[in-house]
Structures are given as C-alpha cells and as structure tokens.
C-alpha cells in the first residue's frame, strides 16, 4: 500500500545545520542558552527546513470531528449530539478555538471524518469514513479498512496544505467520548493500567470515572488488542478523529512540515504515529501540557517538552494558537536582537570603564 511505503521513508531532518544554528544563537547578546525552549524550538525548526531563513507565517489548524460509539456506555456527561453542534459552531466562528485562532492569525480547516449526522455546510469538509465508530466493548471501533482510510485522510491533508503555502500546522478535534478512546490507546501502547491514564474528561463524577475505567478494561479484553501493533490498537479502541490526526502527524513528517500537538486526544494520536515511525518526533511540537492525567505520561514517553502549562483541557486544538504566538515571538526575537559584537560585549581585554 502506497501509504505505508511513504511512512517507511520518513527520516529525521538534516541535523548538520544544528551546529550552525546553535553557533548563531550563541553569538547573540545574551548568555548562552538563556532563552531556553525558544532556542530549542528555533534550532528544531532550522533542522526541519534545513535553513536558518525559514518562514512559518502561514499557519493552519486542522480540526478532525467524529463521533464515538463508546458513548453508549455513559463514559461522558455530554450527549453525543454535542459533536454535531460544536462542529457547526466552529463553522459559525463563535467558539474558543475560533477566537484564539483569530488572535493568532492562523487559518482553520474543519473536517467531518466521522460525525454521526449529515452535515450540509461548505465550511465543514466532508471526508466522513462512517457515521461514527462502533461501540468497542461489543466489537472493534472500526474495520481495518476504515482505520487506514481515516489515517490517509489526515496524511493527504498535509500535502494539500503544504501546496497552498502553509508552513506550520496544528491539530485539533471534536468528538464526545474521545477522552475514553485516548485513554484506551494510551493504556495499550504504554502497557499501563487504565487507572493510570484515565481522567474525568468533560466532568464525570467519581462513579462515572470508575465506569469509564471499567469500560476501557472490558473493551481491551473483548477485542484481544495487540498492544505491540499500533494500528490494531487504533482500530479496535480508537476513533476516526484520532486516526485522522495520526495521518496528519505522519504526513507532516513525510512532507517536512512542523506540526503542533494540542491536548490529550492529539497526544494519543501522536503516540500512535510515534509507535508507527519514531522519526515523527523530530517534526512534532507539544503546544501545552493538558490537565488530563495521561497527557504528561505520553509526552514524557515520546520525549517532548510542552511549550505552555495553562491547565487547559478544552481540546479543539486550543493550545496550538497560543503556542503559535510564543513560537512567533521567539523567532522574531532571535532574528532581530543584536549580536555580542554589535552590543559591544565582544571584548577580549578588560577595559576599566571608570576612567
């Protein structure tokens, strides 16, 4: 299959420019390494683009929207219909992610990859794989073919956006029940208990959390999930939204476009992509540390440091525009501040300034 042939070709970016970038940063009027993660981000972007003179001014946030059959098991305090409602609100431009994106000046691409309703809105792109996934405590969430098609949707969107001139991307999602699918994926791929990675999501009480954990356990056992096969994990206990983001992360690495992870759900997708080809890590940036308990475990496992920690747990891609602002500020600063020589700090011989 052509998709897997491309995935196998994903390689780390050219690290030769890393020393050149560091030498440039060390020559600026500041103590070496004193701008911390801003310098690390700059160097990582230099490696991705293989130049110090890159342009990431045109950005896009992909929001993958889909329903999850597992909501039949009362794992969320929100009704399934909210997926449809909130997705349409994205198109109206009235949600938090719309306003954050307006401020950051990034575009938004809204993708129906599996909403359990017919959508008739030109602002919502129809790439529906099916009308939601199946209830994974009864059967696999999706067929193998559905899973691959969903991954392919995300992968091919990266190519389309790159051809349109976008040079930095973010990931977001909408899908009631997707903290359950994310926790199930994390439990399998990290080989740890559901208790360690399952949170209350949109506001479950303690009894709801216990039910959610038990549902995940039953689903993993029922489907005989192969924890050593990320595709098997994804298709049996995942969701179309997560599969689309998996494809986006893989596509970003293949087409050499930097891409931001949002919160728990996109972190779960990043974990699947990392398990498929670990080289994707070099193209990923963690926008923030989600308040959901599995988020830090996943990012630590991949080896990514979150840019922000604001106790967010909204999803939708909300961390990405905030991180876009930080990244832009860092690049602007590092490109426009003076060098040591220009700042008269490159003095080899002590001069008594009291004279």
Among candidate residues 156, 159, 316, 341, the one labeled active-site is 316
- What the block records as the tokens of 132 is 């939601």
**Residue 5 is among the residues annotated as catalytic for this protein:** no
Label the pairing between strands 259-261 and 168-174. Answer: parallel
Neighbouring CB atoms inside 10 A of 347's CB total: 9
- What the block records as the tokens of 184 is 């199930």
- Return the residue matching tokens 């988020």: 295
* Calpha distance 136→235 (Å, rounded): 9
134: CB partners within 8 A, 6+ apart: 69, 140, 141, 142
* Calpha distance 284→266 (Å, rounded): 11
269 membership: H or E segment, kind and range: helix 264-276
114: CB partners within 8 A, 6+ apart: 65, 66, 67, 128, 129, 130, 131, 132, 133, 150, 175, 239, 240, 241
- The 3-state secondary structure of 184-244 reads HHHHHHHCCCHHHHCCCCCCCCHHHHHHHHHHHHHHHHHCCCCCCCHHHHHHHHCCHHHHH
Label the pairing between strands 124-126 and 284-286. Answer: unpaired
Q: What is the CA radius of gyration of the chain?
A: 21
- What the block records as the tokens of 44 is 């990582």
Task: Give catalytic residues, as residue numbers.
Answer: 316
């Amino acid at each position: 299959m052509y998709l897997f042939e491309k995935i196998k070709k994903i390689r780390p970016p050219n690290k030769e420019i890393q020393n050149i970038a560091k030498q440039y940063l060390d020559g600026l009027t500041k103590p070496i390494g004193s701008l911390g993660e801003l310098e690390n981000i700059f160097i990582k972007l230099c490696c991705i683009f293989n130049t110090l003179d890159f342009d990431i001014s045109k950005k896009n946030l992909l929001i993958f929207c889909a329903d999850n059959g597992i909501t039949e098991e009362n794992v969320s305090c929100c009704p399934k219909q909210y997926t449809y409602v909130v997705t349409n609100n994205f198109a109206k431009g009235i949600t938090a992610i719309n306003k954050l994106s307006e401020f950051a000046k990034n575009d938004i691409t809204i993708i129906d990859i599996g909403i359990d309703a017919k959508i008739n809105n030109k602002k919502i792109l129809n790439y529906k794989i099916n009308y939601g996934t199946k209830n994974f405590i009864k059967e696999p969430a999706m067929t193998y073919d559905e899973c691959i098609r969903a991954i392919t949707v995300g992968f091919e969107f990266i190519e389309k956006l790159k051809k349109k001139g976008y040079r930095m991307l973010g990931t977001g999602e909408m899908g009631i029940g997707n903290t359950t699918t994310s926790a199930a994926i994390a439990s399998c791929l990290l080989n740890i208990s559901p208790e360690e990675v399952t949170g209350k999501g949109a506001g479950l009480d303690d009894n709801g959390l216990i039910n959610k954990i038990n549902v995940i356990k039953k689903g993993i056992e029922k489907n005989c999930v192969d924890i050593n096969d990320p595709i098997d994990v994804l298709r049996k206990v995942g969701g179309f939204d997560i599969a689309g983001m998996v494809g986006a992360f893989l596509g970003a690495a293949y087409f050499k476009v930097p891409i931001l992870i949002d919160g728990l759900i996109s972190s779960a997708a990043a974990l699947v992509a990392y398990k498929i080809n670990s080289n994707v890590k070099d193209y990923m940036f963690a926008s923030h540390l989600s308040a959901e308990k599995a988020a830090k475990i996943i990012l630590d496992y991949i080896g990514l440091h979150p840019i922000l920690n604001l106790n967010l747990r909204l999803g939708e891609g909300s961390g990405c525009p905030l991180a876009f602002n930080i990244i832009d500020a860092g690049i602007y600063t590092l490109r426009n501040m003076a060098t040591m020589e220009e700042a008269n700090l490159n003095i080899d011989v002590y001069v008594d300034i009291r004279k």
